[in-house]
Amino acid sequence: MDQYVTGGAIRRLREERGLTQARLAERLDVSAKAVSKWETGVSQS
C-alpha cells in the first residue's frame, strides 16, 4: 500500500478516536516520533 495513503489512514483513524499521537504511541508501546513518521511517510518500516 502507498506510504502516503497508509499514513493518512493512520492519522484519520487516530483523530476519529480522539487520540493524540502521544496517546496512540503509548497504546502501541512505541514512541510518539514513530507515529509521526508513520503519518508523514518518513518511515519505511
Interval 1-45: pLDDT, tens: 566 679 999 999 999 999 999 999 999 999 999 999 999 988 655
Q: What is the pLDDT of residue 36?
A: 96
What is the grid cell recorded at 13? 483513524
Q: What is the pLDDT of residue 32?
A: 97
Whole-prediction pTM: 0.81
Burial of 12 (0-12, 13-18, 19+ CB in 10 A): exposed
Q: What is the pLDDT of residue 5?
A: 77
**Which among 14, 27, 18 is positioned nearest to 38, based on CA atoms?**
14
- Count of beta carbons in the 10 Å neighbourhood of residue 45: 5
How do the domains of the chain map onto residue ranges? Answer: 3-40
Q: What is the pLDDT of residue 10?
A: 95
Report the C-alpha gap between 30 and 26 in whole angstroms. Answer: 6
